[in-house]
Chain A
Amino acid sequence: MTPIYRGIVALVLFLMLRCMFREKDFWKQVTGALVLIPLVLRLLLLK
């Protein structure tokens, strides 16, 4: 169960990163950055 969960988180994190680098509006990039933080913590099973 946990590997599947981490796989899903990794996929969403990758998609979010891709969005961030393609985004032309800086403030939307900032929003993406905020979303990345909990994803990183969850991927590493820290929180």
Chain B
Amino acid sequence: MKILRGTPVTALVLLVLVGAVSFLAAREFLAMRVPDVVVPAPGYETHLLSEWEPSLKGTPADTPVYIQAGSEPGGTVLVMGGTHPNEPSSSLTAVLFLERARVNRGRLVVIPFANIMGFSHNDPQEASPQRLHFTLADGSVRTFKYGSRATNPIHAWPAPDVYIHPQSGQELSGKEKSNLNRAHPGTPDGDLTSRLAYGLRQLIVKEKIDLAFDLHEASPEYPVVNAMVAHERSMELAAMVVMELEGAGIPMRLEPSPKNLRGLTHREWGDFTETMPILLETANPSQGRLRGRTDEDLVLTGRDKCYTKAAALGRLFVPYDGSQSIELRVARHTATVKTFLDMLGLFDEAKEVDVEGIPTYEELLGQGYGAFLTPLPLKDASPGSQG
């Protein structure tokens, strides 16, 4: 390369360019810190998790909690998405319950963005898109962020070499310190991720949650996909639901919660509270190691020729016919949660929770996810403030 002479003037010009690029990058990064806007259905009360764990007040971990009570008494069910913000069908399913549910009996608690600190950044080296766009029935477009599996390092650094789960002494890679689903049941004096997990436990205990869902996604080559993981206490109800789903043409694996894998909701919520915890997994090719080009289209459609090849070689744990759309993944979560709600009353009549307004599996596949979102009332509505 030709050697050009560097002078203080060229350095100054480059410095101006550094300022411009830094400004543009900063704008992009700061935009990720603006929470997604949701429009709770009538009847929901909006809370913050700090109402159950005051040490979270004013911190970036203080995530919104929405509660709708029916006119008749019954059980209480928690639908939690966004434990891992790079698993979009989890938070999108929770948003669906938030925007569509009409509770007749019992109470429904919805947390759409559980680790809200993971929604304020994403993983550029994974080529993650920043946002997902959905066209609504009225033609308007709503967006949701595609975040990171981990708490934003701005709030969680430094990561240790080894993360030791406080209750069990289990040793994991240091980065797992920022993983909400390795932090349960949490501690009141730990770092923010651990305190967030503790806050969720306090919510479950104080609100007497009978049935608690933690929604997830995983790579199609991971064995636990199109599956639910159940604690011993949840197993009988889960088995009833799996049979019902199979009958409806929605195949579902049922996995027992391993006793020696600590820090996860399906283990710790069951051991440290009275709730029946259920963790659900769908197959998301945009998370997989086998994927090719990574962009919003891959997240929304799940179409990937590398996965088509892998399916032909029998390397996947889900049926894959060339796609694994966000509609299918949300529909699986939605149908499973709804079936649990339908069966809960049969399991224990006093705990019945009757919820209407949730689209069926077929409706979601036929009309798409955007068709069931509520249009935003104002262009510049502040996030999470409606309802």
Q: Number of contacting residues on B, CB 8 A?
A: 23
Complex partner residue of A47 from B8, B17, B29, CB under 8 angstroms: B29
Indicate if B319 sits at the interface (CB-CB under 8 A): no
Query: B22, A37: Cβ atoms under 8 Å?
Result: yes
CA distance A45 to B30 in the complex (A): 10
Check A40–B22 contact: CB distance below 8 A. Answer: yes
Partner of B17, one of A28, A33, A44: A33
In angstroms, Cα B121 to Cα A27, docked, is 32
A12 at the interface (CB under 8 A from B): no
CA distance A36 to B17 in the complex (A): 11
Within 8 A of B (CB), among A15-43: 17, 20-21, 23-30, 32-33, 36-37, 40-41
Does B26 sit within 8 A of A, measured CB to CB?
Answer: yes
Contact A37 B5 (CB under 8 A): no
Q: Which of B1, B14, B19, B26 contacts A29 (CB 8 A)?
A: B14
Chain B residue at minimum C-beta to C-beta distance from A29: B6
Q: Is the CB of A1 within 8 A of B158?
A: yes
Contact between B5 and A24, CB atoms less than 8 A apart: yes
Do B4 and A44 touch (CB < 8 A)? no
- By a CB distance below 8 angstroms, the chain A residues around B15 are 17, 20, 33, 36
Question: In chain A, what residue has the closest Cβ to B3?
Answer: A25
Instruction: Tell me the complex Cα distance, A37–B28, Å.
Output: 14
Interface residues of chain A, those whose CB is within 8 Å of chain B, are 1, 5, 17, 20-21, 23-30, 32-33, 36-37, 40-41, 44-47
20 further contact pairs, Cβ within 8 A, besides A21-B8, A36-B18, A46-B26: A1-B158, A20-B11, A20-B15, A23-B11, A24-B6, A25-B3, A26-B3, A26-B4, A26-B5, A27-B3, A29-B11, A30-B14, A32-B14, A37-B18, A37-B22, A40-B22, A41-B25, A47-B25, A47-B121, A47-B154
Cross-chain pairs A/B with CB under 8 angstroms, 17 sampled: A20-B11, A20-B14, A21-B8, A21-B11, A24-B5, A25-B3, A25-B4, A25-B5, A26-B5, A27-B6, A28-B6, A29-B10, A29-B14, A32-B14, A37-B18, A37-B21, A37-B25
